[in-house]
Amino acid sequence: MGKGKGGAGCTTSALELAYAATRRTRGDRQRRVGVIDLDPQGNATAVLEPDSRTPGIKDVLAPRSEGQPPPLALRDALKPTAWENVWVAPADRFLANREADMTAEGIAALRSARISGEIDDLVDDVVVDLPRDIGRLSAAGLLGAEWLFITARSTIWGAQGAEEMRYTATRIARKGNPELKIAGYIVAAHENTADAERVLGNLRETFGLDLLAPPVPRRARVPEAIESYHTPCREFGAGLKGISDIYQKFYDLVLEKSLKSGDV
């Protein structure tokens, strides 16, 4: 099962969804998760703390060049992390170069890996952390995903970004990845203000039942947990269990759908 997510508050959502997956079982063991970090900032990679960032996802998406080694297999880019049962295909600053030199083969690399089942023996779920900008890296991620969570803040710009991601995902689904489905829209870091509530109402009108409830409330301790201590909200404590519970609900929604359809 592959998942992507895009929009504001993306990396926190990706990491919390990955952690939520590890709290569920497959057979007699906990589920194992691979995180593919397609954001050149590498924030997900930094939080997960693999031993090394190289080789990484940039080597999987690299163009074939005469006299150069072939692109890396995705399974060879996955590295164990400080989070139990989570692996990561790391990003570093050189990943940004892929926007300029990625070929059609590179853009399709993650889709090819999913279809071939290349890492099915290593992980049960794959979470793709998409970059904020919609370009070749995002296209590669969307081609490789089956379920897409679109995250947005309850601001005008956040709503516009969600709509842009929906448009892009729809085009990708029509032209190259018919298995891609929108799992829902996550409103992240929601604040209890009049403007935020107004935008939230607009999002409900636009996305209907696909807007996942409840919105994830803004908590000052969430960045502290994820960014400073590199710790999932549930394990950090400090009253963040409710945040973790919301992401668990969202993950379980997709897991249930996938089990019913036989995707896992």
pLDDT value of residue 68: 80
Query: How long, in residues, is the chain?
Result: 264
Alpha-carbon Rg for the chain in angstroms: 17
Question: Is 0.75 surpassed by the pTM of this model?
Answer: yes
Q: Tokens 């952390």 sit at which residue?
A: 129
Domain made up of 2-258: CATH architecture: 3-Layer(aba) Sandwich (3.40)
What is the DSSP-derived secondary structure letter of residue 193? S
When the pLDDT of each residue in the chain is averaged and rounded to a whole number, the result is 94
Written as six digits, the tokens of 148 are 């897409």
pLDDT value of residue 9: 63
Q: Tokens 């990955």 sit at which residue?
A: 18
Which of 164, 140, 136, 137 minimizes the C-alpha distance to 150? 164
pLDDT tens digits, one per residue of 238-247: 899 999 999 9
pLDDT tens digits, one per residue of 64-120: 888 788 999 999 999 999 999 999 999 999 999 999 999 999 999 999 999 999 999
**Any residues with CB less than 8 A from the CB of 174 and at least 6 apart, and which?**
none
Which of 188, 145, 205, 202 minimizes the C-alpha distance to 169? 145
Q: Tokens 């999932």 sit at which residue?
A: 232
Task: Please give the chain's pLDDT, 264 residues, in tens.
Answer: 455 444 456 899 999 999 999 999 999 999 999 999 999 999 999 999 999 999 999 999 999 888 788 999 999 999 999 999 999 999 999 999 999 999 999 999 999 999 999 999 999 999 999 998 899 999 999 999 999 999 999 999 999 999 999 999 999 999 999 999 999 999 999 999 999 999 999 999 999 999 999 999 999 999 999 999 999 999 999 899 999 999 999 999 999 999 887 766
What is the DSSP-derived secondary structure letter of residue 8? T
pLDDT value of residue 17: 98
Rounded to 10°, the helix 241-261/10-22 angle is 70
CA 75 centroid distance within chain: 18
Tell how many helices (H) and how many strands (E) occur in the chain. 13, 9
Q: What are phi and psi of 123, to 5 degrees?
A: -135, 155
Q: What are phi and psi of 36, to 5 degrees?
A: -105, 110
CA 171 centroid distance within chain: 19
Written as six digits, the tokens of 23 are 């709290």
Strand partners, 148: 4, 182
Rounded to 10°, the helix 136-144/109-116 angle is 10
Q: Tokens 């904020």 sit at which residue?
A: 132
